[in-house]
């Protein structure tokens, strides 16, 4: 009832009282750092053990047990873990890697520095994930790996993707940077394919600090990842005979070791993580219950009846349906929300195939774009070729990421959405429309 009353007043954009007058800190404060994290970090610093591997190896063992897989290998960030995952899968000169165009650049860009090229796939407009149909039509004899991203926590349809990849002898790399601990049909995402890689940076739902983790069940893949970026662990007892003679130096020319302050914090964070995710899901569910039946918005949500979930709702978004709000642009909708005190923005990650790095950049002096120079055919994808991804920004907006369950605060935020929805006609007259490009290349900068 309280919500109903608030929604009838004048929009804050036009001089009314904002729905959210004070930003309550705790409900958005992430990561949740306690004395335990501080003590673990201090211990590493006091021992001068920042560059060691004792804490990191314990973290890896705990991570593997939690993930339910044989191997976990820590890196200094998720980008490096993805880079190593691609190398582990044998991605090399002239190979093609299929990747959704709507994702953070680190899902794709490391392929360039392995001599390979990218073929981007479109996404499903509801799940926002790559689809098996999109993958299948882009497979060629040069396809070496598919990067699957469980985008914004939504699991991708692995039960169709994995058999498809097997049929063609292609490796599946899961980038689960948005979905650590999430489930797809009762199974944990990250090790449904051949190898998984995740970011553990401070804005992701699972946090170590700056950090990344590679997970898999195949010793050979794990050992190739060790050889790529862990020179001090790359020894002659590696399982891959052809690599043994190179022991001691990292084949990727990178030093992938995790900073042990990250490992120490990561160990503490992991212990409480599943519980914190449950709280986040409960809070987001309550938010959507408050908005039940409201026109113009739909949850970005997986069907939970089959044992799937949205993990920690990283980068939570709503689908925006302008047709139900007299065609009001998402730009105008978000502007009105911001005036109400809600930090809402249109879009998500921009489509990578439209960025000049994937169109024109000649990174290694080939005399033509790297994307083409490292390909055996014309893989460029012009504007208009991936229509769902190119149009998705005007149908999405960011939501408050409630990391604690507080009905009073969540109700107030939901009230702001209901107020804008109820008064949407007042916004039509000075709707600026959407700019030609929305969203950002890095999600957390939104
Ligand atoms: C954050 C992120 C990465 C990169 O991880 P870093 O730890 O920032 O290097 C990779 N993929 C996705 C989908 C991400 O969101």
Q: Does 390 sit in the ligand 1 pocket, CB within 6 Å?
A: no
C-alpha of residue 287 to centroid of ligand 1, in Å: 27
Return the pLDDT at 445.
46
Ligand 1 nearest-atom number relative to CA 107: 11
Return the pLDDT at 27.
95
Ranges of CATH 3.40.640.10 domains, the chain: 35-267
Ligand 1 nearest-atom number relative to CA 443: 15
**Dihedral angle of Cα 231, 180, 205, 112, to the nearest 10 degrees:** 50
Contact 158, 148 (CB under 8 A): yes
312-336 as b/e: b if 16+ CB within 10 A: bbbbbbbbbebeebeebbbbbbbbb
Return the pLDDT at 200.
98
User: For the segment 395-419, what is each residue's pLDDT rounded down to a tens digit?
Assistant: 999 999 999 999 999 999 999 999 9
DSSP summary character for residue 110: G
Rounded to whole angstroms, the Cα distance separating 145 from 194 reads: 10
C-alpha of residue 292 to centroid of ligand 1, in Å: 32
HEC string of 253-304 equals CCCCCCCHHHHHHHHHHHHHHHHHHHHHHHHHHHHHHHCCCCCCEEECCCCH
Band (pLDDT 50/70/90 cuts) for residue 24 is: confident
Q: Does 178 sit in the ligand 1 pocket, CB within 6 Å?
A: yes
Ligand 1 nearest-atom number relative to CA 211: 7
Nearest CA to ligand 1 atom 10: 106
Ranges of CATH 3.90.1150.10 domains, the chain: 2-32+273-348+391-445
Return the pLDDT at 444.
59
Q: Does 104 sit in the ligand 1 pocket, CB within 6 Å?
A: yes
C-alpha of residue 344 to centroid of ligand 1, in Å: 22
Q: Does 198 sit in the ligand 1 pocket, CB within 6 Å?
A: no
Ligand 1 nearest-atom number relative to CA 80: 9
Mean pLDDT, residues 351-363 taken together? 98
Q: Does 99 sit in the ligand 1 pocket, CB within 6 Å?
A: no
User: Which of 85-89, 239-243, 398-402 shows the lowest mean pLDDT across its residues?
Assistant: 239-243
Ligand 1 nearest-atom number relative to CA 314: 15
C-alpha of residue 290 to centroid of ligand 1, in Å: 32
Q: Does 31 sit in the ligand 1 pocket, CB within 6 Å?
A: no
C-alpha of residue 177 to centroid of ligand 1, in Å: 6
Rounded to whole angstroms, the Cα distance separating 185 from 161 reads: 14
Q: Does 78 sit in the ligand 1 pocket, CB within 6 Å?
A: yes
Q: What is the CATH number of domain 2-32+273-348+391-445?
A: 3.90.1150.10
Return the pLDDT at 443.
75
User: For the segment 322-339, what is each residue's pLDDT rounded down to a tens digit?
Assistant: 999 999 999 999 999 999
User: For the segment 149-196, what is each residue's pLDDT rounded down to a tens digit?
Assistant: 999 999 999 999 999 999 999 999 999 999 999 999 999 999 999 999
* pLDDT above 70 coverage of the chain, percent: 98
Return the pLDDT at 7.
62
C-alpha of residue 59 to centroid of ligand 1, in Å: 19
C-alpha of residue 178 to centroid of ligand 1, in Å: 8
Two structure tokens written together for 334: 């978000």
Mean pLDDT, residues 419-427 taken together? 98
Nearest CA to ligand 1 atom 6: 78
* Protein fold of 35-267: 3.40.640
User: For the segment 27-53, what is each residue's pLDDT rounded down to a tens digit?
Assistant: 999 999 999 999 999 999 999 999 999
Contact 257, 51 (CB under 8 A): yes
Phi, psi of 110 (to 5 degrees): -55, -25
User: Which of 23-32, 137-146, 298-307, 358-367 shows the lowest mean pLDDT across its residues?
Assistant: 23-32
Q: Does 352 sit in the ligand 1 pocket, CB within 6 Å?
A: no
User: For the segment 279-309, what is each residue's pLDDT rounded down to a tens digit?
Assistant: 999 999 999 999 999 999 999 999 999 999 9
C-alpha of residue 84 to centroid of ligand 1, in Å: 14
Q: Does 106 sit in the ligand 1 pocket, CB within 6 Å?
A: yes
C-alpha of residue 188 to centroid of ligand 1, in Å: 19
Contact 264, 44 (CB under 8 A): yes
Q: Does 103 sit in the ligand 1 pocket, CB within 6 Å?
A: yes
């Amino acid at each position: 009832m309280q919500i109903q009353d608030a929604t009838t007043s004048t929009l804050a954009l036009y001089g009314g009282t904002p729905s959210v007058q004070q930003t309550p800190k705790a409900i958005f404060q992430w990561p949740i750092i306690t004395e335990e994290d501080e003590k673990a970090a201090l211990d590493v610093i006091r021992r001068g053990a920042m560059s060691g591997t004792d804490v990191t190896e314990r973290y890896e063992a705990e991570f593997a047990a939690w993930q339910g897989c044989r191997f976990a290998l820590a890196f200094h960030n998720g980008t490096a873990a993805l880079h190593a995952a691609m190398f582990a899968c044998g991605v090399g000169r002239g190979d093609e890697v299929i990747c959704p165009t709507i994702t953070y650049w680190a899902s794709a860009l490391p392929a360039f520095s392995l001599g390979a090229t990218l073929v981007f796939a479109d996404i499903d407009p509801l799940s926002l994930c790559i689809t098996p149909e999109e993958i299948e039509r882009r497979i060629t004899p040069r396809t070496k790996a598919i990067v699957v991203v469980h985008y914004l926590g939504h699991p991708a349809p692995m039960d169709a993707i994995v058999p498809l990849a097997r049929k063609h002898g292609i490796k599946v790399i899961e980038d689960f940077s948005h979905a650590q601990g999430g489930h797809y049909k009762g199974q944990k995402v990250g090790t449904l394919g051949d190898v998984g890689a995740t970011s553990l940076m401070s804005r992701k739902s699972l946090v170590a600090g700056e950090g990344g983790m590679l997970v898999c069940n195949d010793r050979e893949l794990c050992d190739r990842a060790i050889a790529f970026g862990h020179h001090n662990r790359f020894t002659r007892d590696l399982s891959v005979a052809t690599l043994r003679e190179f022991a001691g130096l990292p084949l990727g020319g990178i030093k992938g070791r995790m900073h042990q302050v990250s490992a120490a914090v990561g160990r503490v964070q992991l212990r409480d993580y599943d519980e914190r995710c449950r709280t986040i899901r409960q809070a987001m569910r309550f938010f959507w219950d408050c908005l039940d039946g409201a026109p113009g918005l739909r949850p970005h949500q997986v069907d939970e009846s089959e044992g799937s979930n949205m993990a920690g709702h990283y980068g939570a978004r709503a689908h925006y349906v302008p047709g139900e709000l007299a065609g009001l642009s998402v730009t105008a909708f978000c502007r009105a929300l911001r005036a109400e005190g809600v930090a809402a923005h249109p879009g998500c990650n921009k489509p990578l195939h439209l960025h000049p790095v994937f169109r024109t950049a000649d990174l290694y002096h080939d005399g033509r774009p790297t994307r083409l120079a490292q390909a055996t055919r014309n893989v460029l994808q012009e504007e208009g070729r991936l229509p769902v991804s190119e149009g998705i920004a005007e149908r999405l907006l960011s939501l408050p990421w409630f990391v604690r369950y507080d009905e009073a605060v969540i109700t107030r935020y939901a009230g702001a959405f209901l107020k804008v929805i109820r008064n949407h006609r007042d916004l039509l007259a000075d709707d600026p429309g959407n700019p030609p490009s929305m969203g950002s290349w890095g999600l957390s900068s939104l």
